[in-house]
Structure 1
């Protein structure tokens, strides 16, 4: 109850800050002509990145017939759905005037990468929603039959969502086929969403954003933060709902190994991202890289590298580090480091354009978010956590029917 109250309080403060922004315009933010994106787009990229966890855990593992991931699929999908939903909302916030969204559908052009982003985000959201709903149907039948235990209000909701599900062999066959088709579709869509997001940056003429490495750099980072988010959620749900029997140390061991692999992969692309520009050291990129390595943003940059990749690797590479508590700490480091990494992708680059800043106010040369920006950003993060919290309290966070079937198959063997 306290946790929910804290999240609601953050959301209310964020909603009030957004009301002030609507009333007074984007002048309440610290964004100016150069840093025209700021913390809002950092949050957008973070949400888009962490949403990739749905395609990793649900689609890739399911198609690869990885049985141990079954208890984690619903956790991954609800993270994906809530994250991509708030990614869409934060874009509307960044627009300043939300009514302009209508123009995108009326006057949108396929030549624009922004249009590609809208299409692929919408597609990914609905596929993720279906991947969350279809495996939930057999569980709804179990929940409907338990109405005496769960109460009338929840029973009505379950009946509304799943009364058509009778659990026949034909329905089960169609459901499995639909889930498999969605798993196949969502993988290229997931790659597209992160590639298109990287194109949005790459088509903007700025130092550091025109790298041919950018698409793979975004995708590898998204896989890492998504896996880190699952580690955190696994530990929290395991503790809060006493799920030690279903989310075991084996799951932390397996996910820990995956996070190490993904962290090494993302570290490799980070080296690629900075090594080549540093080797060439063109004038505009020199200022950008100096600001990251030794300048104004150096503390954040090295924190993001160490906390988001290197320290988690050193924790999780050892077997003891893949126990629940150290794995949880490593997951938090990955997620926090990933958020700051997205901030660093956006802000320092905008402050170092190819054409030098001349005859502009001093405030244009620096950026630190206003309290309204912080409130809206924190409110959106709290909103995503609130959606996950409400879902976990209304629906089973562990797939009941799939777990029963898996245990039955294991017992027969």
Structure 2
């Protein structure tokens, strides 16, 4: 069901203005800050002692850090899916979800960039990418597309926020002096004239068109970082489409989880309705089936040819050291969500939330499996290598830093929801007015 025509402008504003945290909100926020502080302490140890505090080595030189990087890059694709594709398709029902999607995208891409610097061991070496970068390197391609994607995503988050900033400036009694100064700094130039709206809409349309190829590029280039390396498990022409389909799935799953949380704790049932879960559920089923198809492609063809290097890699996944994680990721991340959401009862808010959690968790473990098993199966055999080089499990510092970056992403989303409306106010009012005008005169005030 769409937003009720009985909602007034004042009611929409009062419902959607940022709300102060309650007791649960404060516990959630302090818990995330605590996890971030533990991660910061672990990173201090890594900076002072070097990468020796990690369990990475000559073979597994990419570990949980790069798994996190690929996960963050994947979930950031949701910004282009919800904001760009749905806006350009004129899917008005998705309006309450656009800002949720964009803040997930921006926060994820920020921490994707940070985790790369963490993985380098010495952050000062990041300068070498700009001072001595070579355009022939896929690493440089990744830096370029990530920077471009971040800027476009930030603009897509900021421009639709301008009319809401004017509303928050008007209702300044609902905010603290610090927040009111922030709103004035960010949006005092916005007058809400027809000309400004016209320019803003044109700019948003251009950004939506631009971000789609950039989003596809960022995930394709990230896949090329692996696929251009001649290793079992990475030597694949399927990797670009494999990464993009997986990114669409985890991004949509992340939005579903955020929809449920904001709907429940911010009392947004009138704006994020069961209709939104129904439609997002259908989309998630389609994306799950698409990603499952590319997974079959990714494993069936190497299994059919069974070259010696690929054989060791696939046996490690299907029945060896990584089998438990592999089947967990496949079942929890794809199969069970499909079985839940393919039925109408499964597309209700609570089952959707459970399926979304499963998709996000399964996606993280899937990224771990993309990185680690391949590095443990190099083409050249591990001769005279210490026993610990044949296995990899992250040290507590690696876990703390990885969990700290995940908590940091959630903290950015949490602070954004406290400072700004998580559902666009002005767009909701406009669509409400359009809905009322489309009704017969006798029905408009019922």
TM-score bracket for the superposition, by shorter chain length? over 0.9
- Partner of 1:137 in structure 2? 162
- Partner of 1:101 in structure 2? 126
- Partner of 2:172 in structure 1? 147
Determine which structure has more spread, i.e. the larger CA radius of gyration: 2
Shift of 1:148: 1.7
1: CA distance between counterparts of 2:213 and 2:93?
24
Shift of 1:410: 1.4
1: CA distance between counterparts of 2:86 and 2:189?
29
- Partner of 1:39 in structure 2? 64
Equivalent in 56, 80, 103 of residue 55 of structure 1: 80
2: CA distance between counterparts of 1:282 and 1:242?
56
The size of the alignment, in residue pairs, is 413
Runs of 4+ displaced beyond 6 Å: none
Listed as ranges, the matches of 1:351-366 within 5 Å are 351-366=376-391
2: CA distance between counterparts of 1:406 and 1:356?
63
1: CA distance between counterparts of 2:136 and 2:166?
46
- Partner of 1:286 in structure 2? 311
- Partner of 1:90 in structure 2? 115
- 1:81 equivalenced with 2:106 (yes/no): yes
1: CA distance between counterparts of 2:189 and 2:61?
49
- Partner of 1:304 in structure 2? 329
- Partner of 1:397 in structure 2? 422
Shift of 1:210: 1.5
Query: 1:142-165 CA distances to partner (integer Å, 9 max, x unpaired)?
Result: 000001222322211111100000
1: CA distance between counterparts of 2:29 and 2:200?
34
In angstroms, what is the RMSD of aligned CA positions?
Answer: 0.5
2: CA distance between counterparts of 1:195 and 1:299?
28
- 1:159 equivalenced with 2:187 (yes/no): no
| SS class of match (1:244) | coil
- 1:373 equivalenced with 2:398 (yes/no): yes
Equivalent in 316, 337, 340 of residue 315 of structure 1: 340
- Partner of 1:191 in structure 2? 216
1: CA distance between counterparts of 2:348 and 2:202?
36
Shift of 1:203: 1.4
- Partner of 1:259 in structure 2? 284
Gaps of 5+ in 2: 1-25, 439-446
1: CA distance between counterparts of 2:173 and 2:119?
46
Shift of 1:398: 0.4
1: CA distance between counterparts of 2:50 and 2:227?
28
- 1:222 equivalenced with 2:222 (yes/no): no
- Partner of 2:362 in structure 1? 337
- Partner of 2:148 in structure 1? 123
* Greater displacement, 141-150 / 191-200: 141-150
2: CA distance between counterparts of 1:203 and 1:372?
30
Shift of 1:240: 1.0
* Greater displacement, 203-212 / 360-369: 203-212
2: CA distance between counterparts of 1:385 and 1:158?
22
2: CA distance between counterparts of 1:185 and 1:356?
45
- Partner of 2:90 in structure 1? 65
Shift of 1:357: 0.8
Listed as ranges, the matches of 1:200-215 within 5 Å are 200-215=225-240
Equivalent in 150, 170, 193 of residue 168 of structure 1: 193
The TM-score, its normalising length taken from structure 2, stands at: 0.92
- Partner of 2:3 in structure 1? none
1: CA distance between counterparts of 2:264 and 2:116?
34
- Partner of 1:268 in structure 2? 293
Query: 1:254-278 CA distances to partner (integer Å, 9 max, x unpaired)?
Result: 0011000000000000000000000
The TM-score, its normalising length taken from structure 1, stands at: 1.00
Equivalent in 408, 429, 434 of residue 383 of structure 1: 408
Query: 1:78-122 CA distances to partner (integer Å, 9 max, x unpaired)?
Result: 000000000000000000000000111000010000000000000
Shift of 1:411: 1.4
Shift of 1:233: 0.2
Gaps of 5+ in 1: none
Shift of 1:408: 1.0
2: CA distance between counterparts of 1:412 and 1:86?
44
